[in-house]
Structure 1
Amino acid sequence: MKRFLAASVFLSAQLMVGSLSAGPNQDFTLVNKTGYVIDKVFVSPAHSDDWENDVLGRETMDDGEEVPIHFSRGIKTCSWDLKVVYEVDNSSAVWHDIDLCSVSKISIFWNQSSGQTTAKYE
């Protein structure tokens, strides 16, 4: 019984260490409420010089769609930048320093009268 209990405690400790060393989960759901089709989505560590690969996981994202964004990075940071590129004219919108350790949903909007794209974090 003592060996079983000791093995259980050891296994529990190993699982806790493994989950801590895995780093934060930066996955989120992106909601397109811009009125336009999004062609590409990029996520990079905050203020990085490289956007790397499109993480959309599909060809395009229609207006009104919600898409889960999953990406695996070895970087253990919570602060990320987001860039979306629109299909219609290849223009883009960028947001900096999003805390993806606490944000699970990002909804983006385009305001026609101001000409600005904004984001709401949940």
Structure 2
Amino acid sequence: MKQITVAAALALISTGALAGNADFTLVNKTGYAINEVYISPSQKNNWGNDRLGEYQFLNGDSKKFKFGDTKHCEQDIKVTFTDDESEVVWEDINLCEVDKITLKYNRKTNEVSAELD
């Protein structure tokens, strides 16, 4: 009986840990190298710290980001490009529902889009 209880408890703990995990892979298909990535709850103006650090995120690269703020699933992602230091924002992405985000950007039309998987 104790083994069943322990197994059930471990299953609940594992499920709870997964429910709080909103980690995602970001894919850069913007056509440009990215120097900085910021993540902020949608509708807020507090971007916090650059999530890339010293890493330069080249076009075609993908990177796993840790994210556990499941109380604020709707997030905006802001990037700064390496070549001209311009900034672009992708708004209202539900990080609790996606595993992979492919960022796209047309600099000529200033159009941003994202494929969400």
Contact 1:108 / 1:120 at 8 angstroms: preserved in 2?
A: yes
The equivalent residue for 1:9 is 5
Q: Which residue of 2 aligns with 1:33?
A: 29
SS in 2 for 1:101: coil
- Aligned-residue CA RMSD (Å): 2.4
Matches within 5 A, 1:1-122: 5-6=1-2, 8-9=4-5, 12-13=8-9, 16=12, 19-20=15-16, 24-73=20-69, 76-122=71-117
* TM-score in terms of structure 2 length: 0.80
- What SS does the aligned partner of 1:20 have? helix
Identity score, percent: 35
Question: In terms of mean alpha carbon deviation, does 30-39 or 9-18 score higher?
Answer: 9-18
- For 2:36 and 2:103, the matched residues in 1 are separated by 14
Any gaps of 5 or more consecutive residues in structure 1?
none
Q: CA deviation at 1:103?
A: 0.9
> Partners of 2:91 and 2:51 in 1: how far apart?
17
**Per-residue deviation, residues 55-95 of structure 1 (Å, max 9, x unmatched):** 1254210011111112454x523211111111111111112
Structure 1 distance, partners of 2:88, 2:37, is 10
The amino acid across from 2:90 in the alignment is W
111-120 or 31-40: bigger deviation? 111-120
Distance 1:94 1:115 in 2: 11
Moved more, 37-46 or 50-59: 50-59
The amino acid of 2:66's aligned partner reads H
Show structure 2 runs of 5+ residues with no match.
none
Relative distance call for 1:16 and 1:77 in structure 2 (3 A) is farther
Q: Which structure has the bigger radius of gyration?
A: 1
State the number of aligned residues. Answer: 117
